Amino acid sequence: MPFPRTSGVLLHPTSLPGRFGIGDVGPVAYQFVDFLRDSGQSLWQILPLGPTGFGNSPYLAYSAIAGNPLLISPERLVEDGWLIPEDLVGLMDLPTQTVDFDRVSQLKMGLFRKACQSFRENKTSDQERQFQEFCTNKAFWLEDYALFMALKLAHDGASWHTWDEDIARRKPEAIQAWQQKLKDEIFFQQYLQFEIFRQWSDLKTYANEQGIEILGDLAIYVAHDSADVWAHPDIFCLDGETGEPALMAGVPPDYFSETGQLWGNPVYNWERLQQEDFRWWIQRIQSILDYVDLIRIDHFRGLESFWAVPQGETTAINGYWVNAPGEEFFNILNERLGSLPIVAEDLGFITPEVEALRDKFELPGMKILQFAFDSGPENPYLPYNFESPNWVVYTGTHDNDTTVGWFDQRGLQQKARVTRYLGCTSDQGIHWDMIRLAMASVANQAIFPLQDILGLGTEAKMNQPSVAEGNWAWRFEAESLTDELRDRLKFWTETYGRLPQGKK
């Protein structure tokens, strides 16, 4: 589905400023939407919103559908009466430029348990009805997720495949017994999802009213230690005895790593998914569309063929390609949900077959300008090689260095390739030169990480692919979004014809 000519900003909500050690969907999120509106933007791209596990990666969540409770705004809970203002006084001091996930979780979960107790004791009949309707409407994933999270707490965070065999293999008697034993914690987990979905829905509604659409991110794989794999082991390639992944996801050696990337997620049992007409996948996408307007499918190529690494390997070198039924999947998806606003993350080792799948369903692909300058004039990431407007062009993504960091680390000849293509560099910095290059391209959509708009260096990088820890923690300071920055972004957005209609 081709999109109109617009532009936007990539920023995960955890990177927003705020007093609770992590960005959330409180007042500052609304202020960021206002910045997007006032600077002429139409898109806010985010990373997956799921509850993160090991390494705090949004791409290794405990659920493919649930929301991250750490995004709940305590200030909104005060507004709703589930906390009192005094609850937010005298809290621990937390960093403002990074996220200390362990301390944030300690702080926020304490507040959320207090709010949950208040909700249980004081909710009105109408609020009770809203809560029950939420639990009923989301039951196909929420019941498994709430029990899974309660079980993880009861097992000191251990992975589900190490639990007692009866509950690890979901025997009905064990499920019933644990549901009764953990009913209070299950209620708490349901309450957290009720709040994050409600708060996020309010924010999305506000954004849409301001002319801002949310471009969400669907991680193609889910974490092995997740409610999805525990509840649906038959649709994943697992070891029948241990429950561990029999085949692990990853990519072969590439731009980011000489040994490839071994993600560790179990790959899908596509034969089983086909037998069920891809029911789990369709429910997943339908659920994600409840809280985003457009979807970027991460590692889109894995829907055509995927790199499978046998159990026991420590790198991705010794994997092999396996075909996936992508065309059949998209045909059924379109039959059930219609033509959807999907962006294909088509980076890495892309074959003609992957391109054919993308183009058959008219899905916009991605062009990364940082990839454009280290080969000849046929480089597909150079803007004059964009063969159609049906692309989303980026200066870089969350997996790249910032544009300033990328340019600073290039040698003199490598820098010269960039400046020669640009014709000259302005006094506004290389980051603005690259933003202008993206804006001026024929690509229907141009998106920039906020770090590039701010002109930040490598210290502000969001993620280092193939490195398990120390990522995802960057945050910006509230005073960074100045009026001058707003006006400059709007000026170039208007100059290159990307202002939404009615904003000129």
303-325 per-position pLDDT tens digit: 999 999 999 999 999 999 999 99
Alpha-carbon distance of 350 to 360, in angstroms, equals 15
Q: Which residue has the higher pLDDT, 209 or 426?
A: 209
Question: Contact, 460 vs 407, CB < 8 A?
Answer: no
Alpha-carbon distance of 48 to 40, in angstroms, equals 25
Show the CA angle centred on residue 278, arms to residues 274 and 281, nearest 5°: 145
DSSP state of 251: E
Q: What is the pLDDT of residue 253?
A: 84
| Mean of pLDDT values over 402-414 | 96
Rounded to the nearest 10 degrees, how much is the dihedral formed by the CA atoms of 43, 295, 450, 76?
A: 80
Read off the pLDDT of residues 234-272 as tens digits, 9 standing for 90 and up: 999 999 999 999 999 999 987 667 888 898 999 999 999
DSSP per residue, 146-196: HHHHHHHHHTTT--GGGS-HHHHTT-HHHHHHHHHHTHHHHHHHHHHHHHH
- Answer positive or negative: Cα dihedral of 496, 499, 500, 501: negative
- Read off the pTM: 0.96
Phi, psi of 428 (to 5 degrees): -90, -5
Q: Choose among 96, 57, 72, 1: nearest CA to 296.
A: 1
Q: Where residue 349 falls among pLDDT bands split at 50, 70, 90?
A: confident
Is residue 2 over pLDDT 80?
no
223 torsion bin: left (phi>0), alpha (psi -120 to 50), beta (else): beta
Question: Contact, 453 vs 14, CB < 8 A?
Answer: no
Read off the pLDDT of residues 454-472 as tens digits, 9 standing for 90 and up: 999 999 999 987 677 789 9
Read off the pLDDT of residues 108-149 as tens digits, 9 standing for 90 and up: 999 999 999 999 999 999 999 999 999 999 999 999 999 999
Q: Where residue 480 falls among pLDDT bands split at 50, 70, 90?
A: very high
Read off the pLDDT of residues 136-195 as tens digits, 9 standing for 90 and up: 999 999 999 999 999 999 999 999 999 999 999 999 999 999 999 999 999 999 999 999
Q: What is the pLDDT of residue 465?
A: 78
Q: Which residues contact 279 (CB under 8 A, 6 or more apart)?
A: 273
Active site residues: 298, 345, 399
